[in-house]
Amino acid sequence: AQSVAQPEDQVNVAEGNPLTVKCTYSVSGNPYLFWYVQYPNRGLQFLLKYITGDNLVKGSYGFEAEFNKSQTSFHLKKPSALVSDSALYFCAVRPPGGNNRLAFGKGNQVVVIP
Amino acid sequence: DTGVSQDPRHKITKRGQNVTFRCDPISEHNRLYWYRQTLGQGPEFLTYFQNEAQLEKSRLLSDRFSAERPKGSFSTLEIQRTEQGDSAMYLCASSLGTSGENRETQYFGPGTRLLVL
C-alpha cells in the first residue's frame, strides 16, 4: 500500500527566506506525486504534480518541488516565502495505473513570520 | 466559477439522524471522488466514480455510508444513523477521465463540515 510521510508538524520561516516542506513516500513502481495547500475552512488547492519527465516541477504561486527517486522524496520549495503562504500543506501519492485513490500525508502547518 | 462545488458547507445534526451531502464536479470531468478529513489529518479516500459507475470503495465506507452518481454528473453522499465519530470534513474532488497527464489531477471542492452532537 502507498503511504506518505511529512515528518514535521510545523515549519516556521521568516518572510523572504527560503521555504522547504518535506515529503517522503512509499509506493510500488514509479509514483505520481502531488502537493496541495489548504487555507482555514477551505478545500484543497492543487499546487503541482510530478508524473514523469524532469525531476524539478514548477507550480502555482512560485512553488516548485524536486522528485528524488533514490531518496523517495518530493520536497516542496519556495525561494522567498510570503506571509500569505501561511497555510496547511499536504503531499499526496498514487501508484501508476489502476488504483485512483490519493494517499495523503498528515500535513505540515507553515507559518511565515513577518 | 466553474470549480467543484459542495452543499451544504456546514451541517450540524444529532446522533442517529441521516444526512446527505451533494457534490457538483467540474463540468467536463467524468471522475469524481469522496474523501474524509478529520482534524489534524490528511484526507482519507472513501470512494470513486467514473461517470455513474462506482468503481472503488474504501474500507472506511461502512454500511451506513452510501454514495451515488445517478447521471454521471453530480454525486450525493448519505450517512445513515450518524455517530459522533462521523464528525469530519467531507471533501469531493473531480478529474478528467481522458488520457494524458491532465487526467491525473484531482480538483477539490470547499468541503462539507459535519458535526454530530
User: What is the per-residue pLDDT for A2?
Assistant: 75
Segment B65-101, tens digit of pLDDT: 999 999 889 999 999 999 999 999 999 999 987 666 6
Distance (Å, rounded) from C-alpha A67 to C-alpha B114? 36
Instruction: Determine the pLDDT at residue B100.
Output: 65
Q: How far is B113 from chain A (nearest CA, A)?
A: 9
Count of positions (residues) in chain B: 117
Residue A99 CA to residue B45 CA, distance in Å, equals 11
Q: What spatial distance separates the first Cα and last Cα of chain B, rounded to whole Å?
A: 33
Share of chain A above pLDDT 70, in %: 96
Intra-chain end-to-end CA distance of chain A, in Å: 41
List of chain A residues with pLDDT < 70: 96-99
Q: Does the beta-carbon distance from A104 to B48 stay under 8 Å?
A: no
Q: pLDDT at position B54, please?
A: 92
Interface of A with B (CB under 8 A): 4, 32, 34, 36, 41-46, 49, 51-52, 90, 92, 94, 99-107
On the question of pLDDT at B1 being above 60, the answer is: no
CA distance A110 to chain B (A): 14
Q: Contact at 8 Å (CB) between B23 and B73?
A: no
On the question of pLDDT at B29 being above 60, the answer is yes
pLDDT, residue B75, reads: 97
- Cis status, amide bond into A18, omega within 30 of 0: no
Higher pLDDT among residues B102 and B72, named by residue? B72
Smallest Cα distance from B46 to chain A, Å = 9
pLDDT band at B28 (very low <50, low <70, confident <90, very high): confident
SS (H, E, C) A45-82: EEEEEECCCCCEEECHHHCEEEEECCCCEEEEEECCCC
Nearest to B108 among A4, A43, A101 (CB): A43
The number of angstroms, rounded, from the C-alpha of B94 to the middle of its chain's C-alpha atoms is: 10
Q: Which residue of A has its CA nearest to B40?
A: A106
- Tell me the backbone φ, ψ of residue A80, rounded to 5 degrees: -145, 110
Mean of the per-residue pLDDT values of chain B = 92
Which residues neighbour B53 within 8 Å (Cβ) at sequence distance 6 or greater? none
Interface contact flag, B42 A4, Cβ < 8 Å: yes
* Residues paired with B116 in a beta bridge: B13
DSSP chain B: --S-EEE-SEEEE-TT--EEEEEE--TT--EEEEEEE-TTS--EEEEEEETTEEEEE-TTS-TTEEEE-TTSS-EEEEESS--GGG-EEEEEEEE--SSSGGGG--EE---EEEEE-
Q: Could you tell me the three cell numbers for B95?
A: 478529474
CA distance A90 to A7: 12
Whether residues B4 and A43 touch (CB distance < 8 A) is answered with yes
